[in-house]
Amino acid sequence: MHQARAVALSGVVKMSRILNRLACLAVVATLSACSPAGNEFIGKWQSVKYENRTAEIERNGDNFLIKNTAPSLFGKGAETKLRTATYKDGVLQFSTGMGTADIGYRKDSDILLMPTISGSLEYRRVK
């Protein structure tokens, strides 16, 4: 009788551990599905075509801060511009002198699409 009781308790303990693990997995899955909109943009990026062009995007409260570094227009070193952006309809939007510009993101290839005068440049995530 004593041995049967020990076997039964062992089974209960194992079942309890399995249920605890399943509960933890459910919590992790729920939290990851609820990550704030726009987190896919956060990180360090480098132009696919021009290695001397980089961008760094971080969250700044409800907005995003974009630090974009590129060669100076006058050929003397690099120039860094800081912009604030908001997340709207799946893109980051920031103001330009002539309206707004959108930074896009391609999830399937983890590519950032940075706007340029003639279209956009692809940036890959720096790991």
The token duo for 41 is: 């943009």
Question: Higher pLDDT residue, 40 or 8?
Answer: 40
Reduced to 3 states, what is the DSSP secondary structure of residue 66?
Answer: strand
Number of residues in the chain: 127
- Residue 98 has a pLDDT of 87
Instruction: Answer yes or no: is pLDDT of 8 > 80.
Output: no
CB of 54 closer than 8 Å to CB of 47: yes
According to the model, what pLDDT value does residue 11 have?
60
d(CA 79, CA 69): 6
Task: Provide the percentage of residues in the chain whose pLDDT is more than 70.
Answer: 72
Query: Is the Cα torsion angle 117, 59, 109, 80 positive or negative in sign?
Result: positive
* Distance set, CA 47 to CA 8, 14, 56, 124 (Å): 62, 52, 11, 6
Average pLDDT over residues 75-101: 93
Model pTM?
0.69
pLDDT of residue 17: 65
Average pLDDT over residues 25-43: 66
Express each pLDDT in 50-67 by its tens digit. Answer: 999 999 999 999 999 999
Tokens at 16, concatenated: 């309890």
Distances, alpha carbon 32 to alpha carbons 37, 71, 100, in Å: 11, 38, 31
Tell me what the pLDDT averaged over the chain comes to.
83
